[in-house]
Amino acid sequence: HLSNSDHFGASSPASEIERPRPLAGGPPRNDETQSRAVGKTLQHLLLRPLYQLYEIGLQRQVCIQPPPRHVGIILDGNRRYARKYGATDPHQIYALGARKLDDVLEWCCELRIPAVTLWAVSTDNLSRRSAAEVSGILAAIEAKLAALAQDPRIHQQRVRVKAAGRLEMLPAPTVAAIRAAEKATATYDDGLALTIAVAYGGHDEITDAVRTLLRAAANEGKALAEAIEAVTPAAIARHLYMAGLPDPDLIIRTSGENRLSGFLLWQSAYSELYFPAVNWPAFRKIDFLRAIRAFQQRRRRFGG
């Protein structure tokens, strides 16, 4: 398993603020660099009790109000995080991001959030990134899904795993890992609904939904005019990849980029958006709690 913890969230409140360890393959450090690193480590150790108290206060504050029904997260900033700490191997870079999933699942279960959707890789990523990088992304996804399927904590918490996207674009081993995780958790309908958006694009999802809708009309022998009349928002929604889930109340994009880039285009019409300036592998519990608190403090208008 990618995490050595006894529960989803390997990190206690204290470890949430620890400075990430230098990654293998990074440049050698001189004495001055090492001294600065030691100084920063001591500073973090001294601040740790304050962060513990802050996190406890945040969690108490968040638990007073209802949680969002569905949280979407765009997992951005893996490469920037890796560059900062000297990692260059794509497999290592994306394995770091995959480890963060354990924490997020623990936090969602603690707050009783019913659904979370994580955008792991887009259709654009698959077509535009280098072969080495795509290999690293898919290897991390396969390893994490295999771990989830066998993890007793997933079954104790009754986490249902599903994938959403153009899965036909993926290689056979990735699809096999997806199907194994889905099958292992298929009977859980009263716990956390975890959706992994992989080979996913918002334009693709809407296009595929309309195609499926029209194909169904054609199979029923409907005339063109009748099929056109059948294209309604409700009908399209029934054919989306994530049909049946509530629309996301909150969408978080890590790394500080202030855009959705096509994530859940149809479903995000009334979503609250939150853009923390922290890269995905460094995303902490206090960052997550701040996002939930910001959502709870907003007055939702739903077009009003």
Distance between CA 190 and CA 188 in Å, rounded? 6
Residue 89 known to be catalytic: no
Residue 193 exposed, middle or buried by CB count within 10 Å (0-12, 13-18, 19+): buried
Residue 74: its H or E element: strand 70-74
Nearest to 159 by CA among 132, 184, 133: 184
Write down the catalytic residue from 6, 31, 76, 78.
76
Active-site entry in 6, 103, 125, 287:
125
Token digits of residue 151 = 């993890």
203 and 229 in contact (C-beta within 8 Å)?
Answer: no
> How far apart (Å, rounded) are the C-alpha atoms in residues 144 and 101?
9
Active site residue 208: no
Are 47 and 17 in contact by the 8 Å Cβ rule? The answer is: yes
Taking alpha carbons only, the member of 287, 274, 270, 291 closest to residue 67 is: 291
Q: Look up residue 179 and give its two tokens.
A: 């199907």
Active site residues: 76, 125
